[in-house]
Chain A
Amino acid sequence: MAIQGVGKVRPHQTQNERLVFEKSAPGKRGYKLPPLDVPAVDPAKLLGEACRTQCAALPELSEIEIVRHFTRLSTWNYAIDLGMYPLGSCTMKYNPRVNEFVARIEGLAEAHPYRPDSEAQGVLEVIDLLQRCLLEITGMDAITLQPAAGAHGEFTGILLVRAWHESQGNPRRKILIPDSAHGTNPATAAICGYAVENLKSNAEGGIDLDALERQVDPETAALMLTNPSTIGVFESQIHRIADILHARGALLYMDGANMNALVGKARPGDFGVDVMHLNLHKTFSTPHGGGGPGSGPVACKAFLEPFLPTPVLATARDGSRRWEYDRPRSVGRVRAFYGNTGMFIRALAYILANGPDGLRQTTEDAVLNANYLRKKLEDVYELPYKTPSMHEVVFSDRRQAARGVKTGDIAKRLIDYGFHPYTVSFPLIVSGALMIEPTESESVEELDLFVDAMRSIAREVEVTPEVVKSAPHSTRVSRLDEVAAARKPVLRWRQQ
């Protein structure tokens, strides 16, 4: 099962490591507190019945064991730092190290959120500059950085939509969502109290204008649209879509998951979008960290500004900045404090490192890379939609499925070739989807290795499909039993 002639990986040892609890022994220490400089206290006396009588069963390890434990675990992960991570719609781009450095600068990292505005001017300036950059990039009028992630941004954006409709006398009842959308879109509409109405994609995978005409009615609050769509296609009829909605008083919400295809080339505010969210952890290079933290700013047109979450940043005549809380029409807060400030710092560092020319070149390279992969793979994998690709390309496993090999198998086999898989089985409008987003961060060399791997797997499907179906063969663990995990969940360690 060794791979011949494709040169990305070679076997390499990793260390076994038990759970941290299994390495614990009473009396080992990984910490040392300084001596108390105030009188000692008796917790039982101060807390009475509220005193904890039994310590929590946390592990006890020395520092070297802690370092080895987490280092060993880390080596079991794939990461952008190791290679291409072509998860479609996730924009796994390089996370610049200077971002991490500046986010830890003392005056920023140690600032308490309730320090007086007068003592927080530095961080407020950072937030202000980021806000202005994001408004310029999106072409919108107003912004909040409060939402903690993309889905949280969607929630905030749809609350703005609802508040505006309410101010017009009717919150309306439903939100239209294309069948190609991320699952967060319908989930968001539902938690905002809206019914979800599915909008079927047309033959090109885009919005079906006739269907839209039919479905937008006086009870439609908004359309949630991802543009470019999840198949990586720009809605070239975007102005018509906006017109249809606006003519009936409905709004256009844009899921900005795919903004990496647009920055510096086109602005949602210019093509009719009323409100949108961004993902700083996608487009603006803040690290994914194994699933967060993210940041999901929401930008909107001026008519939605009165409804933004409190507080909003205001600038006084003397140029000083402060948080403005007196916002009677606001939808309210969506989280405590002001948002994931640490992510704002990183995103701004990214924008500064790029400048206008770098941001545009980044977008161009992202689109160039996706089209390069498309060109190099379209003869072996089926391309269900022939529409021009932007930053990602979606294939179908149709040819391979005929031989019993599915997208999930090809994905697992990619691991043996040294790559993280693409996004599997999404969007739902493509049967057996392979959704590939290389981002701008890949060199020609890495792209060619990926092409070699994908083509080699396609050949394996013809010759030795079993090898693909039982992959991966080179990992510490393979094909974990998800059924057993779900039937009898074991969600924590317990002392035997």
Chain B
Amino acid sequence: MAYPTKYRYTREHEWIVLDGAIGTIGITDYAQNSLGDIVYVDVPKVGDAVTANATFGSVESVKAVSDLYSPVTGTVTAVNEELKVAPDKINEAPHDTWIIKVELKDPAEWDKLLDAAAYEAFVTEETGK
């Protein structure tokens, strides 16, 4: 699966796309693939603060839990309620299924993230393929 070029990425396999000051965050195809069937997504509440490189929630498969790391610092403005009943959406369409939306405190953080090419190179390096 191709990694959308208008997204930016973290080394912990989250993606973010920007619309003004609002960042929309999800996990990458690589992340969902290595986790397997996702059964539960634990997300913060609207209004909670998130910090760049710190955990804001977790995704669970049957036998593993993976922490979610925020690409940016800011305040949660929305959480994807649909994931409560259909966490498998992430497996089906990882790059079109968002988890939270965050109002960025410092838009400059965007520039520190990996672009699609850099992320793909990182994944290739990590898997050794």
| In the complex, A483 has a CB within 8 A of chain B | yes
Query: Interface residues of B: mostly helix, strand, loop or mixed?
Result: loop
A-contacting residues, B37-95, CB 8 Å: 37, 39-40, 60-62, 87-88
| In the complex, A487 has a CB within 8 A of chain B | yes
Chain A 442-483 interface mask (CB, 8 Å, partner B; 1/0): 000000000000000000000000000000000000000011
| In the complex, A58 has a CB within 8 A of chain B | no
| In the complex, A486 has a CB within 8 A of chain B | yes
List B contacts of A487 (CB < 8 A): 39-40, 87-88
A414 to B95, CA, bound (A): 40
A287 to B88, CA, bound (A): 40
Chain A: how many interface residues by the 8 Å CB criterion?
Answer: 4
A82 to B87, CA, bound (A): 41
Looking at the assembled complex, report how far the CB atom of B78 sits from the nearest CB atom of chain A, in whole angstroms. 23
List B contacts of A482 (CB < 8 A): 62
List B contacts of A483 (CB < 8 A): 37, 39, 61-62
A487 to B61, CA, bound (A): 9
A486 to B37, CA, bound (A): 10
A-contacting residues, B76-120, CB 8 Å: 87-88
A487 to B37, CA, bound (A): 10
List A contacts of B37 (CB < 8 A): 483
A483 to B60, CA, bound (A): 10
A374 to B39, CA, bound (A): 38
**Chain B residue nearest to A487 in the complex (CB):** B39
A487 to B39, CA, bound (A): 5
A486 to B59, CA, bound (A): 13
A483 to B88, CA, bound (A): 10
A492 to B41, CA, bound (A): 23
B-contacting residues, A381-400, CB 8 Å: none
B-contacting residues, A257-283, CB 8 Å: none
**Chain A residue nearest to B60 in the complex (CB):** A486
Looking at the assembled complex, report how far the CB atom of B117 sits from the nearest CB atom of chain A, in whole angstroms. 30
**Chain B residue nearest to A485 in the complex (CB):** B62
A482 to B87, CA, bound (A): 14
List A contacts of B62 (CB < 8 A): 482-483, 486
Looking at the assembled complex, report how far the CB atom of B100 sits from the nearest CB atom of chain A, in whole angstroms. 20
A487 to B84, CA, bound (A): 9
Looking at the assembled complex, report how far the CB atom of A480 sits from the nearest CB atom of chain B, in whole angstroms. 11
A487 to B88, CA, bound (A): 9
A177 to B62, CA, bound (A): 25
A-contacting residues, B8-39, CB 8 Å: 37, 39
A482 to B40, CA, bound (A): 13
**Chain B residue nearest to A482 in the complex (CB):** B62
A487 to B59, CA, bound (A): 12
A173 to B62, CA, bound (A): 32
List A contacts of B87 (CB < 8 A): 487
Looking at the assembled complex, report how far the CB atom of A322 sits from the nearest CB atom of chain B, in whole angstroms. 48
A482 to B36, CA, bound (A): 12
Interface centre among B39, B61, B87 (most CB of A within 10 A): B39
**Chain A residue nearest to B62 in the complex (CB):** A482
Looking at the assembled complex, report how far the CB atom of B83 sits from the nearest CB atom of chain A, in whole angstroms. 11
**Chain A residue nearest to B39 in the complex (CB):** A486
Looking at the assembled complex, report how far the CB atom of B33 sits from the nearest CB atom of chain A, in whole angstroms. 15
Looking at the assembled complex, report how far the CB atom of B91 sits from the nearest CB atom of chain A, in whole angstroms. 10
Residues on B facing A (Cβ under 8 Å): 37, 39-40, 60-62, 87-88
Q: 13 A-B residue contacts at CB 8 Å?
A: A482-B62, A483-B37, A483-B39, A483-B61, A483-B62, A486-B39, A486-B40, A486-B60, A486-B62, A487-B39, A487-B40, A487-B87, A487-B88
Residues on A facing B (Cβ under 8 Å): 482-483, 486-487
11 further A-B pairs in the complex, CB-CB below 8 A; given A486-B60, A487-B40: A482-B62, A483-B37, A483-B39, A483-B61, A483-B62, A486-B39, A486-B40, A486-B62, A487-B39, A487-B87, A487-B88
